[in-house]
Amino acid sequence: MSADNFDKLMTIANPLMHDFVADAVELCQPDSVMVCTDAKEDIEAIRQMALNGGGETKLAAEGHTFHFDGYNDQARDPKRTKYLVTPEMKLGKNLSQIDKKEGVEDVRSILAGSMKGKQMLVAFFCLGPINSKFSISCVQVTDSPYVVHSESILYRPGYEQFKRIGDSDGFFKFIHTEGETENQVSINTDKRRIYMDLEDNQVYSTNTQYAGNTVGLKKLALRLGIQKASNEGWLAEHMFVMGAHGPNKRVSYFAGAFPSACGKTSTSMISGQTIVGDDIAYLRKEGGEIRVANVEQGIFGIIRDVNPTEDPEIYKSLTTPGEVIFGNVLITDEGRPMWLGMGEDLSQAKGTNHGGEWTYGKKDEDGNEITASHKNARYTVGISSLDNRDPLADAPEGVPLSGIFYGGRDSDTCVPVEQAFNWTEGIILKGASIESETTAAVLGAEGVRKFDLMSNLAFISVPLGKYIQSNIDFADGLDNVPSIFSVNYFLKNKEGQYLNTPLDKKVWLLWAELRVNGDVDAIETPTGYIPLYKDLAALFKDNLGHDYTQGEYVEQFTIRIPELLAKIDRVEKIYKETVASAPAIMYETFDTQRKRLEDTKAKHGEYISPFDLIKK
């Protein structure tokens, strides 16, 4: 380490951080070490390293680059992603884990000497807005300029923030090596490891370049954050945050949790609204209300189906000169990125993708079609490049939370939008009961319902019962309790046709905005409150130019008693069989809703028009 880099490191008066970096140097044995500050020249140096054999290549548009991951390194690796636990830690059998001593020895044996002949990068970032109660300082050690460049787009600068925490131990640590590479791609994926030490707030990642495994501050840090939040009385959630714009320039802020491919990012980007963040949120109680902040300042998004019709703001940012990293898309011979669902004909395109040279119709050795871009192809872009960025996106105090959406992929059970009766029922019956149906094209057998608690199941790092109880208790002491809604964009008729278009979600959002502000009444059903027809008709007409009919309304908002009862039975069975620590109030709430459904069925039948539930 040069004297200049040494001085940069020692300017941060935190011996624990110094120990972490020193141990990483001794373990990985790099030829040199660069310490990155918040200075523009340091970030620019990283960009240039990335383009000079560090994982990225220039594209035709100014500021655009692309990155390819290895053929077997295209997504998160649940099998090799584990918590390091001590004998005293009781996470429950649901969470993938390994004995800490065994796991540390395993991953450190792989990391040993892994940076010989390379330069180690030490970078600092901040989770949450800078200099606020949401801030969590982070130090990233890696040999990949691509990783640091990605994090400089996705996260707020953290060098100066790190100085503010003094000698505190309340920071997160990440060490990553790409391992041996060939054509800038990690090749020893059998030695891929992603281990999280919950005791020391440290993440190890090696022999991988896919950002979900290497950009430690994303889902790996979410796992550390969930445990920290649980211990300190706040929430770390897999949620977007956005502003819904109501009458008279009013803005009401919503968070939302959706499993993959269920409309999460598209909801946060609804036209005419403003985005705070699309993926991860921290929630804290302040002054009798919940304040929520976006953990990130950028988006690492799935690019498939991003097109000018359904995602105009993102599409514009991806096709305008500026800082964007494309991952695993098709790069044409002219240096242009192309991807599935972008709204253009790919049959005439040719170029290079993560599998090599590509032309339309190319097949692999088993005769399967090789698509132009990977189905999990990604983009990395700053939210500041979006025209619809909310003015309070970086507010240190966060934004006041008016409501929460929980969504899943559901073809036959839940109505398009419904408000829970109260916070507890919302957490249990909307959030803790999320199901998402698989699709035949991508995930296997069509219609298999996958349970996904709060859309956070893969990232929860505390016993599931404790996590649910923390969410239930979070409303205690609040003067203003946010409303909780379920949404379902995937309801179908008996012929298998969707009952709504992708644009209809704007109406459900704006109805919820009116509802949380007391502007509209609602119909009480056995499972919550649904909109009145007249209010939806006005919203459809004013916002989508659509004459919404009573027939559409009845078909979409029919209460389907048999399917709702079956859902309660499925979810309750999962909890009884797999979550020994589930709070007793969950089963009481299931019983309460089951009784309401049975009583309503006795009075009105199994399938009930919303008009039949209007109180005379």
What Rg value do the Cα atoms of the chain yield, rounded?
25
Beta strands in 267-329 (DSSP E): 274-277, 281-286, 289-294, 298-302, 324-327
Give CA–CA dist 142/176, Å, rounded. Answer: 5
For residue 516, what are its two tokens? 């949380």
The torsion of the CA quartet 480, 483, 484, 488, rounded to 10 degrees, works out to -150
Give CA–CA dist 408/215, Å, rounded. Answer: 26
Q: Is 36 annotated as catalytic? A: no
Distances (CA, A) of 285 to 229, 233, 235, 461, 544: 12, 9, 9, 21, 36
Phi, psi of 432 (to 5 degrees): -80, 0
Q: What single string gives the DSSP state of each residue in 201-234?
A: TEEEEES---HHHH-TTTHHHHHHHHHHHHHHT-
CB 410: neighbour CB atoms within 10 A?
24
Contact assessment for residue 432 and residue 468, using Cβ atoms and an 8 Å cutoff: yes
Residues β-bridged to residue 243: 253, 274
Using alpha carbons, select from 135, 169, 163, 191 the residue that is nearest to residue 37.
Answer: 163
- Output the CA angle 494-498-504, nearest 5 degrees: 145
Q: Which of 28, 138, 262, 414 is catalytic?
A: 262
Give CA–CA dist 166/161, Å, rounded. Answer: 10
Give CA–CA dist 287/290, Å, rounded. Answer: 8
The terminus-to-terminus CA distance of the chain in angstroms comes to: 78
- Output the CA angle 490-496-500, nearest 5 degrees: 40
User: Letter for the amino acid at 394?
Assistant: D
Residues whose CB is less than 8 angstroms from the CB of residue 441 and which lie 6 or more positions away in sequence, other chains included: none
Q: What is the maximum alpha-carbon separation in the chain?
A: 81
For residue 502, what are its two tokens? 């992708």
Phi, psi of 101 (to 5 degrees): -60, -45
Give CA–CA dist 209/187, Å, rounded. Answer: 10
Helix or strand holding residue 194 (H, E) = strand 193-197
H-state helical runs in 405-549:
423-425, 464-473, 505-516, 533-544
Asked whether the CA dihedral 397, 399, 404, 405 is positive or negative, the reply is negative
Tell me the catalytic residues.
Answer: 262
